[in-house]
Structures are given as structure tokens and as C-alpha cells.
Structure 1
Amino acid sequence: MKYKLGPGEKLDPNEFILKGFEDLEISTQIVIRDALNRGLEVEILDRPSHFIRLKGQGKTRLVKEASKTELDSYMTFLVMENKTVTKRILEESNILVPKGITVSDISSGLDFLKQTSDRKMVVKPVTTNFGIGISILQSSASEEDRKKALEIALGFSETAIIEEFAEGNEYRFLVIGDECVAVCNRIPANVLGDGKKTIRELVEEKNKDPRRGVGHVTPLEKIQLAETELSVLKEAGKSPDTVPSPGEVVFVRKNSNISTGGDSVDVTDIAHPSLKKLAVEAAKAAKAKICGVDIIVKDLKSEGDYRILELNFNPVLYIHNYPYSGKNRNVGEKILDVLGYVS
């Protein structure tokens, strides 16, 4: 199917659901909307895989899942997909990453974790996204907990990374071309207590927000109360029936991914220029033109200590266009710019 707007027609960029394209993930909807508004022809090549073709201004470009384009090579994708290789390349560019090792069996992992038992550690698969398979181990973690973390990570990948836990807040820096175009603080799934409602009721209430849905077709994902969330609550001495105090923030997830119900907060304007420059340098180290750089920093507003956690080869756009709070950064427009389409 091919689509093109008629003379004078425009689609509202503030409407996050694009009529006729509701089945496509929202980042793809953003690119389609912006492309149509530039007078380009959009052809849907394969809906299930969100594969489209853009035509206009004498150019034809293929785009998959909004941010996979011909600008990045397959090798660049492979580098960013493999966290071990990413860390090596960043270290060689004198960019700081968390210290750790890669293991391919549980025994080796347990041996290393014993040597670092005085520290908070992270265990994660080498090749997954969306926070899948990641475990955070406290210094007091039992051998059973350590083994379970390794089993989970190795269940998703042939090898697992064990690394120091980087203290601070995690931010997503979106690099497109030679510019850091947006910075987002992704806050783990949470609810705010009012002294009356239970956690379950607060989750249900927060999930009524029309921006929350399931399957990346809305800007935010619904908060779940499944096994992982119940485990986090139990660890905090709470249950879905607990009534939080007024103003108390209760987290039901440890990972900050929007895909697991987190909140996206735009912080582009307060991020220190040195950190934005660092994100661009990290992307260039991997030869990436479109890249999500996850950085842990203690103070976003100043130059200082940081650690780059990973590079993402298929960064979502919607957390920057339709954040839970903050400005719309119009990053779909930036994608079209770097693809050579003039607005």
C-alpha cells in the first residue's frame, strides 16, 4: 500500500495514534506521519515487521522499525547488539564503561561473583534489549540468588556479562547523525501513594492514561503486576494490597525501561553539553548514525563521573516525541533530515 497526502493536507503531529496505521509500532507511525507531512510517498512493504519505503525529492529510502536505515551497516548493528564487543570498542576510545567480565558458564560466573561479593553487581545477557534477563545483585546476595541471575542471563544468550553496578541515574541519549537530539530520563514503573488507594488500585488508575497501552503502539506501556513486579514489591515488604502513604513513590520494577511500564521524562535542556558530546563520540566509535546511548551519571547538569552502559541499534523514538512529561523533540523529523529529505 502506498500513501501520499494531497496538496495542503497535514497530519497533526501531536496525535500519537495515526489513523489507518494503528497496528504499527508508534515509532514507525511517527516517521510515517512526518514523511507524509513533508510531501513524501510512504509505501508499507511489510506491516508485521514495520518495514516501509520512502520516496520523494529524487530519493528512495528503506526504513525498518523507524530507526533501522541504510545509514548504519550490518556490522554496526552486530557491534551494538553484542554488549561485550560494545564495551571493548568504547574502552579503546577511552570512554568509561562499568568494569566486569564475560562468562559462558555458571561456575565461572559464581567464582567471579564470590570475588566481588562486597559490591553491588549486575548480571545480564550479551545480546538482549528492553532490560530482558538483567539482574541486580546486592552485596548481601546469596549464592542461590547469584546462580539464578546467571541462569536467567545465560538463558537468553550464550554468554553473560557480570559488571559493577554504576551508581547514579540512567539516561537515554538519542544520537542522530552528528548530533545528540534528545535526552530522556526513564523512570522505573511506579505509582504515587495517596494514603487511600492500594498499589493495585493505583496501578489501575495510572493505566487509564490513554497514552498507556500494550505492544509499543502507544507512547507508554501499561504497568503490570506479574511475577517480576510482585517480587519487587515483596522485596520492599509490600504487596498489591498495600496502601502507600500520601506522596510515597512505590516502584514495582527495578529496570527503567518504558517497555515495562516506566515513565519517560524529557531532560534534553538540562543535560550538560559534555554528556551530549560524549554520546555522539560513543556512537561514532561504533560507526553508528542512529543510536541510543544509555549513560549513568550522578549529576546530569554537570561534567563529571559517568559510565556508558550500552549502545542501542534500534532506539525507539516515541519516548522523545511523546514523553510522560516534558517537550516533544520531533525526532522523527531528525531521522528524515539525516536521510537527506529537506523539510
Structure 2
Amino acid sequence: QDGTFSAPTGPGLGGHLVLVPAVEFLTRHLDGPGTPARPITYEGRAANSYDVEPLLPFAAPSGEIKFASPLIERAALCHGLNTVRLSRMTLLVDHPDLGSPLCFTPSKSAWTGVPSHRLSIDKELTRGMLADADVPVPQGRAFQPGQVEEAVRYASSLGTPAVVKPRNGIHGTGVSTDLRTEADVRAAIANLDTTAFGDRPFIVETYIPGDDYRLLVVGDRVVSVVLKKPASVVGDGASTVAELVLEKNRWRLENPHTRGCLLAFNDEAQSWLGRQALTPQSVPADGQAVRLGSAGNIAAGGDSIEVLDETHPSLLDLAVRAVHAIPGLDHAGIDLMGDHHSGADGHPAAVIEVNGNPATSFNHFPLAGTPRDVSTDLVLRSCTLAGFDPGGPRQRLSVRIAVEGRVHNVGYRQWFARRAETRNVSGWIRNLPEGGVEAEIAGPAGDVWVLASSAAIGPQRASVTRVTTTHIPEQHSPGQFEIRK
């Protein structure tokens, strides 16, 4: 541990190999079956099974699939809307009967104003606005980075466990919960220095007991509720904690959302093991829960369980009121502490954050519970606000795709044709004399969507600047795809 070796008494260097820090890497590269033999459950629910293969064109080298914007495009295309891809993050949706195009980024629409989004980022301002609207929130205060002693004293004055989090944080980074001693609060504040928020204001607030939820509000209704459980494993009486983490990570690799955010033995995980008198080499008893994280942060290895159908109506109403408390906000993710079975009357509940740019991937792909197609909710809501009804979803699509950018002499047509041949589509692709590439494809909606959305990626040497996808009458023989001159 001090970087030196003692003189060995036997063969070798006298040390031993420690693989715990590499557990995330090992999960991705160890040989073995595609899925673990032992079934995994979440809050008593069996793990969901997904077809990851169609989404692999959108996977980054880390394994994370960047599919929020493609899922918006899928919803638009399946409802007969044309699309213009300006970048991997920016999408225009149009139709001849729309007055003007609708603009989407991965989780925002044109109906989310910049001022309202800025307000939602500042957690201190948000808490004040929610309190003014009689939405229950934790008691708390913001502090500057140098006000450690003042923050510790304030936490002690609350008379309850405390939470420390960045004032303008995202993705649960730097959030520490259930802090019961001054030492816990100091450690949490010090932990901020290991994040990008170390030199920025932070918040100390009361810890609300209960579970952590994300309620996605679109317009006047909640379209998904995800229970977010902190990172953990459950013992089987034979495996070490490290082995349990490897096993659970193999399941996370089978989920399109969690395959990019595996459990790891970082400082927070090691700290939680210490609080439970455990190490990565410990063998927990059968059924023993071992906690590895503080907040219910899916990106840090937490579990996502969709529970909309079981959620008490009072919590749904509370989430809608929270969104309406922020002027100009039409949809948002509401982070709430409470009990979804009991509701606001049967258990203390409070809104802890409003997310004006909410992630939607875990709504589509929860580890357990009913998947929710919230991208369709967002697209249809935008159409409603624009005074347009696109009608129901289509099972088959026929589209023309125009691709602009550096797409000549880089193998783009061959790249596209190979992907077309793996999908159940027909059509053709050709170079245009004035530059660019044009394709026509027809087939099942899911297959056509994957090709249309991945057209913005292209082969390694390509540089795509714009992709326009327009609906056309179907006119190709099934199963035939060709490269035209």
C-alpha cells in the first residue's frame, strides 16, 4: 500500500495481485456466458430482458448507448413526422400540416424555456419557488466552498440526519445522504473536492427518510415513476462481495441503459463497505443486502424499478404541482423522497430536485417494472401544444434519407448497405452528383428507424453534417437492397 515491497521469503516478488479496482473492466472483458446463471431480482421483481442489438449502433466506446435523441426520432417517424438531424444531439421534427418545425434535444423540447431550465439547475432557487407554491421541500441552506465550519454547525442544528450536495450538480454527482455525525458531514463536504463541484457552492439540507423516486411529468400528467435504489448486492452465502458485483454487472450489461454505468469499488463504495464492517473479499450471508452507494444514482450503479401503476395519486399530484411551480416549464423530472405505496398522507414526502432536462433512458429501460415509451409522450405533447394531431403509430415505414457532409470516397454507401442487410428492409442508396448521399428504405418501423437514426454516424472517415428523413409511398420489393451508381 505504501508503494514498496518487502523482501520475499519464497519465490516471486512477495506481493499478491489485487483485482478489485479493475472490477468494472473485468466485467466487460472476462470470458463467460452472456448472462449469469443465478437470476437477479429487484425489490422482488424479476429483471427485465431487452434486445440490445438494435441499439448498438449508438454505443460509445465505453459501452454507454447514447439513444435518448434517437428514441425521440423513433417516436416522430413512427407517427408519420419527418425529421432533420442537425447533430447527434439536435433534432427537428416537421410535417406539412405543422406551422413550423418542432425542435428537440435529447430530453428537452421547444416548450422548455431556457430561463425555466436555468432555474431548475439552481437547487437553492428551486427550493424557494417550490416552498412558495406550498410544495413540501427539505429545510436547507446554501454555503460557499470556504464555509465548512458554518455548514457543519448548520447540519448539527437541523436535529436530523443531513444531506450534502452541490448547488448546481447533475446526475447525483457529489450527493451524500443520511449523514448522522459531524464527521460524516465533513467527509461529505471534502468529497465534493473529488468532483467537478469542489470549488462551487453546496447545500446542506434535512434528510427525508424513505425511497428515492424520479417522476417524469409531461404536461399535466405523470408518465413514469422510477424507484431509484442505491448501488447494492445481495449475498448468497458463498460469493465474495467482489464476485457478487461481477455477477450483477453482467446483468447490467444486458440492459441498454445500465451497460454504460457498472458497479465499481470507488471511494464511496469502499466507504459504505467500511460502515458495514465489510471488505470486497467478505462473504455476505444468504439474503444479506450490502450497500455500495449513497444516493439512488443509476449512473453510479443504482437500481431502476418502474412503479407508476403502484404509485399513490397524491404523489402524482405533488409532482405535477412542482413542475407548474417553475414558470415556463412544461415537462420535467421530479426527484422525490417518500413511499410510493403510502403517498404524501401516509409517509413524509418532499421534492428534492426539479430536472428541466431529465434523462429518459431509464424510463424506457428500467432494470425491473414496466418500460415506458416516454419519448412518444414528449413528441405527442409537443404536437398537441402546436395544435397538430399526427394520428396513431405506424407499423411499417417508407422513407427517403438525404445525407450531407463528407460522405463521398469514405465507404459510406457500403457502410450503410451492410447495416441495411442486417435489417428487414428493402431499398437502395446512391451518391448524388452535387455531393451527399441519398437512400430510400422501406420495412418494419423498428428496422427503418434504426437505419435512419444511425445515418448520422457513418463510417470512421465520414463527417455527417445533416440528415433529412422524409416519408414517401412504399415502392420497393421486400428484402432487396442495392448500391446504385
> TM-score scaled by structure 1?
0.86
- Which residue of structure 1 lines up, in the alignment, with residue 226 of structure 2? 184
SS of the residue corresponding to residue 276 of structure 1 reads: helix
Q: Distance in 2 between matches of 1:158 and 1:272?
A: 37
- The one-letter amino acid of 2:230's match is P
Contact 2:121 2:169 in 1 (8 A): yes
- Which residue of structure 1 lines up, in the alignment, with residue 251 of structure 2? 209
Q: Distance in 2 between matches of 1:205 and 1:152?
A: 28
> After superposition, what is the alpha-carbon deviation per residue over 1:232-277, rounded to whole angstroms, capped at 9, x for unaligned?
1112111111111111221211110111111111110111111101
Contact 1:120 1:138 in 2 (8 A): yes
Contact 2:323 2:354 in 1 (8 A): yes
> After superposition, what is the alpha-carbon deviation per residue over 1:72-102, rounded to whole angstroms, capped at 9, x for unaligned?
1111111110000000000000111001212
Q: 1:225 aligns with which of 258, 265, 282?
A: 265
Bigger CA drift: 85-94 or 231-240?
Answer: 231-240
- Which residue of structure 2 lines up, in the alignment, with residue 42 of structure 1? 83
- Which residue of structure 1 lines up, in the alignment, with residue 354 of structure 2? 311
Identity within the alignment, % = 27
Contact 2:162 2:179 in 1 (8 A): yes
Larger radius of gyration: 2
Q: Distance in 2 between matches of 1:302 and 1:52?
A: 38
Contact 2:163 2:175 in 1 (8 A): yes
> After superposition, what is the alpha-carbon deviation per residue over 1:107-162, rounded to whole angstroms, capped at 9, x for unaligned?
3213323434x4211111110111111223533332xx433433444761632111
Offset of residue 323 of structure 1: 1.0
- Which residue of structure 2 lines up, in the alignment, with residue 26 of structure 1? 67
Number of corresponding residues: 322
Contact 1:89 1:286 in 2 (8 A): yes
Q: Distance in 1 between matches of 2:344 and 2:179?
A: 28
Q: Distance in 2 between matches of 1:301 and 1:329?
A: 23
- Which residue of structure 2 lines up, in the alignment, with residue 130 of structure 1? 171
Offset of residue 212 of structure 1: 5.3
Inter-CA distance 136–129: structure 2 relative to 1 (3 Å threshold): same
- Which residue of structure 2 lines up, in the alignment, with residue 247 of structure 1? 287
- The one-letter amino acid of 2:366's match is P
Q: 1:149 aligns with which of 182, 188, 202?
A: 188
Contact 1:167 1:298 in 2 (8 A): no
RMSD, aligned α-carbons: 2.3
Offset of residue 299 of structure 1: 5.2
Contact 2:241 2:282 in 1 (8 A): yes
Offset of residue 289 of structure 1: 1.2
Offset of residue 339 of structure 1: 1.3
- Which residue of structure 2 lines up, in the alignment, with residue 333 of structure 1? 376
1:101-120 matches, cutoff 5 A: 101-104=141-144, 105-116=147-158, 118-120=159-161
- Which residue of structure 2 lines up, in the alignment, with residue 99 of structure 1? 139
Inter-CA distance 279–252: structure 2 relative to 1 (3 Å threshold): same
Do structure 1's residue 194 and structure 2's residue 236 form an aligned pair?
A: yes
Do structure 1's residue 55 and structure 2's residue 94 form an aligned pair?
A: yes
Offset of residue 211 of structure 1: 4.4
- Which residue of structure 1 lines up, in the alignment, with residue 201 of structure 2? 159
SS of the residue corresponding to residue 209 of structure 1 reads: helix
- Which residue of structure 2 lines up, in the alignment, with residue 293 of structure 1? 334
Offset of residue 337 of structure 1: 0.8
SS of the residue corresponding to residue 284 of structure 2 reads: coil
> After superposition, what is the alpha-carbon deviation per residue over 1:19-59, rounded to whole angstroms, capped at 9, x for unaligned?
54334623223222222222333333222xx2222223534
Q: Distance in 2 between matches of 1:289 and 1:102?
A: 27
Q: Distance in 1 between matches of 2:226 and 2:103?
A: 27
Inter-CA distance 21–298: structure 2 relative to 1 (3 Å threshold): closer
- Which residue of structure 1 lines up, in the alignment, with residue 367 of structure 2? 324
- Which residue of structure 2 lines up, in the alignment, with residue 11 of structure 1? none
Q: Distance in 2 between matches of 1:180 and 1:219?
A: 26
- The one-letter amino acid of 1:56's match is H
> TM-score scaled by structure 2?
0.62
Bigger CA drift: 278-287 or 127-136?
Answer: 127-136
Inter-CA distance 248–210: structure 2 relative to 1 (3 Å threshold): closer
Bigger CA drift: 244-253 or 128-137?
Answer: 128-137
User: 5+ residue gaps in structure 1?
Assistant: 1-13
User: 5+ residue gaps in structure 2?
Assistant: 1-49, 384-388, 393-485
- The one-letter amino acid of 1:18's match is L
Contact 1:26 1:218 in 2 (8 A): no
Offset of residue 334 of structure 1: 0.1
Inter-CA distance 169–54: structure 2 relative to 1 (3 Å threshold): same
Contact 1:219 1:323 in 2 (8 A): no
